[in-house]
Structure 1
Amino acid sequence: MRERQPCVYMLASGFYGTLYVGVTSNLIGRLIQHREEWMRGFTSEHAVKRLVWYEVADTMDAVIAHEKRLKRWLRDWKIALIERDNPRWDDLAIGFGLPPLPPPR
């Protein structure tokens, strides 16, 4: 993945855990921010740090539109999207060279 690539992503607190949908142009940088809790908010308060799904696009407009659609989806639809490509809810950030997270509490 390029350093700057528009991306919509989903994080989870663990297997079937709390979900978060976001967008970024720098996925690895944003994952580090979530993992190190650089910003107070939903993800830090709910320990949502595991990358379980992502999709890249050519433009930020495209990923923002996709994020808005995903945020309106039912939880079951989001789970089905995750499990289509990641049935075990593995932390996909490891594939980008980030260290494994400790097991959820």
Structure 2
Amino acid sequence: MSDLPAFLLRHTVTVEALTGEGPYGPEYDDATTVRCFVDDKRRLVRDATGGQVVSETTVYMPLSTTCPVGSRVTVNGRTTTVLVSARRDGGGLPTPDHLEVALQ
């Protein structure tokens, strides 16, 4: 398998990918709409610094999506920040390759 099957991509989110820091704070790319699967479930995750934080939502997106840590994501009318972004690439194995994103 190469990507998540289309029938699983039941939701849409708006992603503003973090591009870096500017003189006035974080800078973001233009907003893009992404088809995905949203799992609203509270869980503990480790952030970029290794600390435990609570994630309210996990979003499963196509692997080609650009959504690094710190990006803004609007899901279900709520704008939040990416805590963890993990590429799940099976390297040619028959797995559904995707990007798993834990949101604040």
TM range (shorter): 0.3 to 0.5
Structure with the larger helix share: 1
Q: TM-score, normalised by structure 1?
A: 0.34
Higher radius of gyration, 1 or 2: 2
Q: Kindly indicate which of the two structures has a greater share of residues assigned to strand.
A: 2
